[in-house]
Amino acid sequence: MMPDESDSTWLRVIYDGDCPFCENFMKFYAIRNNAGNVELIDARKRPALVRELRSRGMEINDGMIVMWHGHHYYGAEGMHLLSILGNNSGGIGMLNRLLFRNKKMAAAIYPLLAAGRRVTLALLRRKLIPLEIPSPPLAGEGKSKSVDDGHATGEAPLPPGGNDGGNETK
């Protein structure tokens, strides 16, 4: 059963399904139970959602988007949230925690990942997600409902154990 777009109890991750890094990260990275239900959304398959996010200033070619509890987390902020919600065991979990648990470090590293994605797509001869998506919405995909009035601004809620400094004490 697909959740309604306005259901803020779901954690939604919008990513580029043609990017091998994005695709593999989303497959292998487990989200803790405190995230609740998780929906992974390939942006290439949801043009209406991509249009809505772009209208809010979130360019999917420049960063992934995480929607959780009525807020949008874009790029580095999305990775920071996933590092808080994610499984801390295993190689990917530990690396993600190391790189993105600290907001300042996440903000410094994320642009390098986005640039690496662009280079990789070019080397693989894959295109970026088109700026103008000419195809009509798929059946039942009308205009997405908004889950908040802004994106990645103000103080959005963090999950239990989330912090801004990166040094978690547990």
* pLDDT in 10s for each residue of the chain, 170 residues: 445 555 667 889 999 988 888 877 766 666 655 566 888 899 999 999 999 999 999 999 999 999 998 899 999 999 999 888 876 677 777 888 888 999 999 999 999 989 999 999 999 999 999 887 655 555 555 444 434 444 444 456 666 555 555 444 44
Distance CA 79, CA 76 (A): 5
Residue 14, SS3 per DSSP: strand
Q: Are strands 10-15 and 37-42 parallel, antiparallel or unpaired?
A: parallel
Q: Looking up tokens 């990513």, which residue turns up?
A: 15
pTM beyond 0.75: the answer is: no
